[in-house]
Structure 1
Amino acid sequence: MLALTTMLVALPANRLVAQQPSDVQAVKAASKTFYSTLSVLDDGSAMERVWARTSYVTYVGPQSKSVIVGWDAQKQYWGDFNKRFTQRTVSLVDDRVHINGNLAWEIGVETGQAHMKDGTIRKVDWIVTNVYEKLGGQWLMVSHHVQPRPQ
């Protein structure tokens, strides 16, 4: 017991940050806002509520040809991408959140439907990793990566 206590005392204080239930709930709230914002088919402005507007935010989607980096590129992407849909509903299931200091990540499965302007309906069934950073006391998305779920 003495050895364990000595090890804990010797660890730097920043290594002992506990995952606070209030932060977990705040990340889940940010996630819920992101998924409700996906149904807003605007010029990308709605995403300003959930994305950190920094030069290092990233997005990789199931149809991306490259990684989209930076808030300006993100906003442009979402505005252009939203033009393809008449309606989109996506939710997150089987999600798990982990927090370490001011960084949080969430994994899960995105599910839903996308109604395309060409009249087709596409099933949303993706594996997702979302990364959040606590900036100014608010959890904001800094990375969103989705890929098709293996069948």
Structure 2
Amino acid sequence: MTATVKKTSDVSELIYAYGEVLQACMQSPRMAWDQVSSGKDHIQAIAKASVKMCPKAPFIAELQRIADGIPPAAMDDGKYVVGKTIQAGTYQVQLPDGASGVNDCYWERTDATGGTIENDFITFAPQGPSVTVYDGEGFVSQSCGTWKKIG
């Protein structure tokens, strides 16, 4: 693989890019450095450079996933497109330490036009709710916490 370097007379651009790569080597992508508004291609390029530059980085598996363009297998509350911003599969809410269950959690699967496929408002789930999502669907989570792919 050959990297293309933009020719520039502004050395600060190159220093900034080097700094981004080093930051990615040291900081978990879950801390949102991969969610910045600079675009997926830019983030993927940073991850690819970080994998090569820091093969023993503490978050190398996450960096490799981003470099390969694979969506995450975990998500927090929010709105997602399955196959683009999260992986298809079965997810379950992860209980926080010491919690006896999940309270007042709402989740929804939607079709490509926004129509509801399935939804639920969980008043209490001792083990946390689980849901299976498929490529092309939307997924919404409110007040549920962190979902982790289990299958």
Shorter-chain TM band = under 0.3
Using the size of structure 2 for normalisation, the TM-score is: 0.22
Q: Where is the strand percentage greater, Structure 1 or Structure 2? A: 1
Using the size of structure 1 for normalisation, the TM-score is: 0.22
